[in-house]
């Protein structure tokens, strides 16, 4: 394996792994806080048990997210030292703030997990909320740093020199808001569907119905609101990308030729050699509308971009299709769920709906990863868009392939263990939470 490819693969793997754990770690605390609130208000033991059960999940995910995040803060240098040499002082601001947010999150989690019966009950609830809020803040800050790679700002690039560095301006780059919004909604949607789906499965299997039903309702409402809002945020992102990174947009839609008006392609097989797309469904003018809000606008194709600045088209296009496809599907599930809320029939009798949620368990995360692929692969060959190429940033150390194999093995085994642990947590729900007071 080529060192450059190995470095990129290792980075992709680490981020792909970290992204799931950090999303769960930043969203679950909010579910927990809702359930905790209900317990404090209603004194219903089920809510207390649910809060405790979820908090164990949060502890597992937080720890895994924290170590994989630590790993990443080193990996930036281990794999891309030449990038960090220049970029560190420019885009470091969100990271230094993120350090604070993350620290507060860790402290609050300590209070929350060990604070049962030791703290004032509302202070205890508050620490749980702090976990969520600071987790969300960390997420937004890290995405802001990534947005800078897509939309470099806060410096002047003169003859290969990075001058007049302004880290604040770099943090508030043009892409930060659209990317952070999209990521946060994705985190809520994906985690909401995954959690709701797992509890739906338990309801279908007739285990601790009351417990799982309450859990399902909390998670599902977050998931469905997220899924409803996501298309709006997607629209903001699409228009933003069209303006700033035409090459990425062209790759997303496999638009090889500049067209006016440009059609939207759904599906299709990309042939990168012949620069053609076969078998796609074309919606005339739709891409023009999505990118520029005008059905007859011109959309820049890859033909207007130098060949050596083309991102890999097929991967970007497929990933984009997967993301949008799943997004639409989840939107439909959400709408269905909201409609069924008006019917008085209890949820337990709507087995088909629960089954729909079970199917959706992995979908949100698949879409989230696909979206990540779109933004990262779509930026290639640049590591800092228009400024530095990824291949110029890679470490001079040979043998990165071995590092990639080792870390792959670690991440795969960690994923397996975490899945196994969750399976056990869920299996033990009847034993742990059937009695009214358990510890």
Partner 1 sequence: MEQVVITFLCMAILLYFLLGGADFGAGIIELFTSTKNRSKTRKTMYQAIGPVWEANHMWLIIAIVILFVGFPHIYTTMSVYLHIPLAIMLIGIIARGTAFVFRHYDAVKDDMQWFYNRIFRYSSFVTALFLGIIAGSLISGHIDTQANDFYTAYISGWLNWFSVAVGLFTVALCGFLAAIYLIGETKEAHDKRRFIKKAEFMNVAAVVFGAMVFIAAQRDKIPLIDWVFKSNVGLSAIILASLSLVLLWYLLIKGKTKVLRILAGFQVTMILLAISYAHFPNFIRLKNGDAISLLETAGPEKTIYSLGLALLLGSVLILPFLGYLFYKFQKKEE
Q: Residue numbers of the site for partner 1 (CB under 8 A)? A: 56, 59-60, 62-64, 66-71, 73-78, 81-82, 84-86, 88-90, 92-93, 95-100, 102-104, 106-111, 113-115, 118-119, 165-168, 395-399, 403, 406, 410, 414, 417, 421, 424-425, 427-428, 432
Indicate the residue among 58 and 374 with the shorter CB distance to partner 1: 58
Q: Collect all residues with Cβ–Cβ distance below 8 Å to 372 and sequence separation of at least 6.
A: 15, 16, 19
In this structure, are residues 380 and 374 in contact, taking their beta carbons and an 8 Å threshold? Answer: no
User: Rounded to the nearest whole angstrom, what is the least distance from the CB of residue 423 to partner 1 in the complex?
Assistant: 9
Distance, in Å, from the CA atom of 217 to the CA atom of 288, rounded to the nearest integer, reads 39
**What does the buried/exposed string (b/e) look like for 197-212 if buried means 16 or more CB atoms within 10 Å of the residue's CB?**
bbbbbbbbeeebeebb
User: Rounded to the nearest whole angstrom, what is the least distance from the CB of residue 281 to partner 1 in the complex?
Assistant: 44
Neighbours of 249 (CB within 10 A): 27
Helix (H, G, I), strand (E, B) or coil at 140: helix
Indicate the residue among 356 and 410 with the shorter CB distance to partner 1: 410
What is the rounded radius of gyration, in angstroms, for the C-alpha atoms of the chain?
23
User: Rounded to the nearest whole angstrom, what is the least distance from the CB of residue 13 to partner 1 in the complex?
Assistant: 13
Indicate the residue among 260 and 391 with the shorter CB distance to partner 1: 391
User: Rounded to the nearest whole angstrom, what is the least distance from the CB of residue 118 to partner 1 in the complex?
Assistant: 7
Backbone angles phi and psi of 119, in degrees to 5? -115, 160
User: Rounded to the nearest whole angstrom, what is the least distance from the CB of residue 132 to partner 1 in the complex?
Assistant: 15
User: Rounded to the nearest whole angstrom, what is the least distance from the CB of residue 165 to partner 1 in the complex?
Assistant: 4
Distance, in Å, from the CA atom of 297 to the CA atom of 279, rounded to the nearest integer, reads 24
Spell out where 131-275 has E strands: 156-158, 161-163, 264-266, 269-271
List the one residue out of 204, 191, 214 whose CA is nearest residue 363.
191
Indicate the residue among 59 and 387 with the shorter CB distance to partner 1: 59
């Amino acid at each position: 394996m080529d060192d450059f490819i190995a470095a990129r693969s290792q980075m992709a793997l680490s981020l792909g792994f970290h992204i799931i754990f950090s999303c769960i770690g930043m969203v679950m605390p909010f579910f927990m806080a809702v359930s905790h609130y209900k317990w404090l208000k209603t004194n219903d033991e089920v809510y207390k048990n649910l809060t405790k059960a979820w908090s164990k999940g949060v502890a597992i995910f937080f720890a895994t997210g924290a170590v994989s995040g630590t790993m990443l803060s080193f990996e930036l240098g281990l794999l891309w030292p030449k990038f960090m040499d220049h970029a560190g002082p420019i885009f470091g601001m969100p990271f230094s703030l993120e350090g604070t947010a993350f620290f507060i999150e860790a402290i609050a989690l300590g209070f929350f997990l060990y604070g049962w019966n030791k703290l004032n009950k509302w202070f205890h609830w508050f620490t749980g909320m702090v976990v969520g809020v600071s987790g969300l803040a960390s997420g937004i800050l890290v995405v802001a740093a990534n947005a800078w790679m897509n939309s470099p700002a806060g410096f002047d690039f003169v003859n290969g020199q990075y001058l007049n560095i302004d880290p604040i301006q770099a943090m508030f780059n043009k892409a930060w808001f659209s990317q952070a919004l999209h990521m946060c909604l994705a985190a809520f949607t994906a985690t909401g569907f995954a959690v709701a789906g797992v509890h739906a499965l338990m309801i279908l299997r007739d285990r601790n119905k009351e417990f799982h039903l309450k859990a399902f309702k909390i998670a599902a409402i977050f998931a469905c609101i997220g899924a409803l809002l996501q298309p709006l945020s997607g629209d903001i992102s699409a228009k933003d990308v069209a303006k700033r990174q035409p090459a990425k947009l062209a790759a997303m839609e496999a638009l090889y030729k500049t067209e006016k008006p440009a059609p939207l392609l759904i599906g299709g097989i990309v042939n990168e050699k012949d620069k053609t797309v076969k078998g796609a469904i074309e919606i005339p003018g739709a891409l023009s509308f999505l990118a520029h809000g005008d059905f007859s606008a011109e959309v820049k194709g890859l033909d207007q971009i130098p060949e050596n600045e083309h991102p890999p088209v097929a991967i970007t296009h497929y990933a984009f299709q997967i993301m949008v496809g799943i997004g639409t599907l989840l939107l439909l599930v959400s709408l269905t769920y909201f409609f069924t809320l008006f019917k008085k029939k209890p949820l337990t009798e709507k087995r088909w709906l629960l089954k729909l949620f079970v199917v959706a368990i992995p979908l949100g995360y698949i879409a989230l990863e696909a979206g990540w692929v779109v933004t990262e692969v779509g930026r290639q060959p640049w590591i800092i868009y228009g400024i530095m190429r990824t291949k110029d940033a890679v470490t001079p150390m040979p043998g990165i392939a071995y590092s990639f194999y080792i870390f792959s093995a670690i991440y795969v085994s960690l994923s397996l263990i975490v899945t196994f642990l969750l399976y056990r947590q869920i299996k033990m729900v009847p034993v742990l939470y059937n009695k009214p007071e358990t510890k």
